[in-house]
Amino acid sequence: MIQNRLRRIDNTAFMTWTMLGLAVVMFILEVFSGGSQNISVLVRYGAKVNYLVAQGDWWRLITPIFLHVGFLHIAVNGVMIYYVGTQIEHIFGHTRFLVIFILSGIFGNLASFAFGSDNSVSAGASTALFGLFGAFIMLGLSFKHNPFIQTVAKQFGVLVLVNLVFDLFANNIDIWGHIGGFIGGVLIAFCLGVPKRFGNISKIYQILAIILVLLLSIVLYWIGLNG
């Protein structure tokens, strides 16, 4: 009976639900602390502000993933976390999903730190979500003879392009965070690979991806500090 319960738990996307739950809890805290659109509240809870990161608040590259600005923001991102996250967690597994979600979010925030405005306040899971999109693209690049994966990868590729085009014409959108999250998602997915039941990823690609993630992270952080 215990094994059956553990198997049922393992078959659920509990990491996705955990990430979604954290975002919801933080949103509730924002609301009861003065409002989720209150700049001082967002900054207090860890929104990314470039000059504060440059002054040593490195943790602001992580905490913005779980903060959102307004109900529409958390609603849209929440639906996407559930929809995309459950699929990625099923394919990559719980641990890999968590690593892709967090590290691509950080990578996106690093890109925003490097190229974004010093005084802008950034928050949201979009950097991590674009990382999940990137993980699907990685699957498309790795399994070119799988028609299902190719179809899904193309769909997410179109979704990424549409979102980035929308970002160009929208106000208060951190396009650099989205681009960085997407690139980070592709590279980090290559670093981690997939469970053996889905196939093998070239070791050369994995090594190159690890080197690129490390180098780009250092370069982006350096640009943010000295830009």
**Which residues 6+ apart lie within 8 Å of 67 measured at CB?**
23, 26, 27, 30, 42, 45, 46, 47, 123, 124
Token duo for residue 155: 């769909």
With CA atoms as reference, report the closest residue to 123 among 15, 23, 34: 23
Consecutive H or E run containing 122:
strand 121-122
Helix axes 203-226, 94-115, angle to 10 degrees: 30
Q: Which residues are known to be catalytic?
A: 126, 178
Give the angle 137-109-166 at the CA atoms, nearest 5°: 60
CB 136 within 8 A of CB 198: no
Q: What are 166's two structure tokens?
A: 């929308």
The SS3 call for residue 121 is: strand
Return d(Cα 60, Cα 45) in angstroms, integer: 9
Of 130, 134, 135, 110, residue with least CA distance to 122: 110
**Spatial separation of the C-alpha atoms in residues 99 and 66, rounded to whole Å:** 15
